[in-house]
Amino acid sequence: MPIEIPALPLPSVYPLGVILFDFLFLLVAIPIEAYILNTRLRFDKKTSIFYAISINLISSVVGWVAFFIAEPLLPKDLRTELISYAFFNKFQSNTVPPLLIFTALIIFFGTFILKFFILKGLLVLLSEPEKAPKDPENFKQRNTIRASRAKLQNTSVVTTTLIANSLSYSAIAIILLLRVR
Amino acid sequence: MQVFTDIFKFGSDITARIKNIVNIPKAFSWQTFIYLSVFSGLMSYLASGFVKDLISLCGWLFLIAGTAWYTTDGNPLKFFGTDMTVGALITGALVSIFAFGHESTILTSRTFVLWPTIAGLISAVPEFFSGTGTDVSAQIPKPEARQRMIILVASCMVLSCWLQFFFVMDNWLNEYPSLKSDSFKNSTFVLRTQPPETVPENGALVLNKIQPLLEEQLTERNWSEAEKWLKNASSQVGKLGREVVDKQLQKFDEKSFWKIEPRITNTKSGYKLDILSIWTGPSSNPKKYYLKKSCTVEPFAGGVRTNKPDAKGTVAEIICEGGSSLFGGSPPPQQ
């Protein structure tokens, strides 16, 4: 069996711009959302930064994966427009911008829902495993307190996520608008 | 007798040396795994068919287990101050090559893409165990460790997504190779490593393939018939062009973007037939571009060159230039 040096499947174009933009968006979104989490949900600074980093990274991953799944399934016209925008920074027809706004709306609400569920998931994942309560009376009391706290948190988590997401998207939108000028 | 003791001494010397190199402190250790993998590699080289695959599978598993063990033993080296361990990167690479590699091309795009994610997951694994070596017990890591692991794995997954996007864009260029001849200097997103191709090869290929077909259609045709054909050229050439494009560019998605059209002008002695292959796909030029191959169609006294019996009177002769040339902008209007 002769050992062949494999031909590296290296690409001939590098989408560094896309990566830098994604990185910039994360850099903008994380501190804003961390600040909102810190002020509204009263996590300490370190914890809120952790939550902000994780919800943004994970929603970014989910977004990318959705793109990778959707991209080959797009209708040919749309795919061509996408390619045209990526390589030549312009669309071929002018029917695209309305569609773009629609997509942006879907992305916004999609990430909002996603971030909420990620945050809830992380809250569960990071809670200390409860030790089995020895005292049944104490257990009952504690349980009701915990239940009310969880209920309170649920609504405030939703609004906090919405505010954090809106603010970070506004910041990103402002950056994009500044670029167009 | 002296000779025998010498030989014996030499033999024990060698075994001692080998023992030193192949130092296996105990049977259940990472060295055992590495040696098992080397042994499996040799065996799979000798075997064939199903057995070969089975042995090489075992070899890979031993190699991965050995590397993972070696690199996580003791105090693992961290990768540039991150939580990623160098050992996990190496083990991740092995797992990735093993899981997604091919026999012919050892590295596939998936190997690269999933490497960071797998490495991240591997570096998180030791957090779930306490103790070293053979004395291990499972544990749920502390919340702080869990935070670090979540961020590590998530950032590794983002890296994987970025790598995947490299290959998505590369795939676009494979499906639409004519984009490679265009300029990407307006693009915010793309950096290219090679200079653009001078001519969109597919466009030139189509023109070169259509030329003999045209010659076949026109050569030795009665001149008046040829003129009639030329009057009707746009539908004739369009049809021929469609067939050629469909056949030649079968495997490319860009085939619907190439359109073949003729342009005919009168000259003193006959006609000038320009065949254009027009690019209608994405381009940096808003008016796009086209390739042109010029041919001249002229009347010729028949029966001179060939021995066709029915070629009498004046017949048509078509002469095309060898190459084709590229023009930016929209093609000239059709008459």
Do B126 and B250 lie in a common domain? Answer: no
Distance from CA of A135 to the nearest CA of B (A): 25
Distance from CA of B127 to the nearest CA of A (A): 14
Do B52 and B171 lie in a common domain? Answer: yes
Taking CB atoms and an 8 Å limit, are B170 and A16 in contact across chains? no
Rg (CA), chain A: 22
Which of B158, B175, B192 is the endpoint of a domain?
Answer: B175
For chains A and B, what is the number of CB pairs under 8 angstroms? 138
- Report the pLDDT averaged over residues B124-140: 69
Site from A87, A91, A124, A128 to mutate, B interface, most B CB atoms within 10 angstroms: A87
**pLDDT reported for residue A65:** 94
Which of B175, B191, B223 is the endpoint of a domain?
Answer: B175
Q: How far apart are CA B119 and CA A157, in angstroms?
A: 33
Distance from CA of A134 to the nearest CA of B (A): 22
Q: Which residues of B180-201 are buried (b: 16+ CB within 10 A; e: fewer)?
A: bbbebeebebbebeeeeeebbe
Do B228 and B168 lie in a common domain? Answer: no
Distance from CA of A60 to the nearest CA of B (A): 7
pLDDT digits (tens, 9 = 90+) for B9-54: 777 777 766 665 566 556 666 777 777 878 777 777 777 777 777 7
**pLDDT reported for residue A2:** 45
Q: How confident is the model at residue B133 (pLDDT cuts 50, 70, 90)?
A: low
pLDDT digits (tens, 9 = 90+) for B210-257: 888 888 888 777 888 888 888 888 888 888 888 888 888 888 888 888
Which of B175, B193, B214 is the endpoint of a domain?
Answer: B175
Position B186 in a domain: no
Q: How confident is the model at residue A109 (pLDDT cuts 50, 70, 90)?
A: very high
Do B259 and B319 lie in a common domain? Answer: yes
Closest CA to B198 of B61, B70, B328: B328
A133 vs B23, which has greater pLDDT? Answer: B23
Do B48 and B106 lie in a common domain? Answer: yes
- Quick one: closest CA in A to B143, which residue? A126
Position B223 in a domain: yes
Do B162 and B41 lie in a common domain? Answer: yes
Taking CB atoms and an 8 Å limit, are A88 and B182 in contact across chains? yes
Closest CA to B229 of B218, B239, B243: B218
Position B335 in a domain: no
Position B246 in a domain: yes
**pLDDT reported for residue A1:** 39
Q: Which residues of B52-90 are buried (b: 16+ CB within 10 A; e: fewer)?
A: eeebbebbbebbbbbbbbbbbeeebeeeeeebbbebbbb
Do B29 and B153 lie in a common domain? Answer: yes
Do B139 and B265 lie in a common domain? Answer: no
For the record, the structure tokens of B169 come out as: 């864009």
Position B195 in a domain: no
What number of other Cβ atoms are within 10 A of residue B23's Cβ?
9
**DSSP letters spanning A101-124:** HHHHHHHHHHHHHHHHHHHHHHHH
Q: What's the total number of domains in chain B?
A: 2
Domain of B301 in residue numbering reads as: 201-328
For helices A45-70 and B143-175, angle between their N-to-C axes, nearest 10 degrees: 30
Taking CB atoms and an 8 Å limit, are B182 and A87 in contact across chains? yes
Do B169 and B208 lie in a common domain? Answer: no
Position B192 in a domain: no
Position B47 in a domain: yes
Q: What's the whole-model pTM score?
A: 0.79
Taking CB atoms and an 8 Å limit, are B161 and A65 in contact across chains? yes
Position B130 in a domain: yes
Rg (CA), chain B: 35
Do B170 and B233 lie in a common domain? Answer: no
Query: Residue type at B162?
Result: W
Do B64 and B26 lie in a common domain? Answer: yes
For the record, the structure tokens of B204 come out as: 């030139």
- State the pairing for strand pair B271-279/B191-192: unpaired
Min mean pLDDT across A25-34, A121-130, B12-21, B96-105 is at B12-21
pLDDT digits (tens, 9 = 90+) for A47-93: 889 999 999 999 999 999 999 999 989 888 888 888 888 888 888 88
- Report the pLDDT averaged over residues B48-74: 76
Do B80 and B151 lie in a common domain? Answer: yes
ipTM above 0.90, yes or no: no
pLDDT digits (tens, 9 = 90+) for A6-39: 455 567 788 888 899 999 999 999 999 999 988 8
- Report the pLDDT averaged over residues B249-272: 85
pLDDT digits (tens, 9 = 90+) for B295-313: 888 887 755 555 554 545 7
**pLDDT reported for residue A144:** 54
Taking CB atoms and an 8 Å limit, are B158 and A80 in contact across chains? no
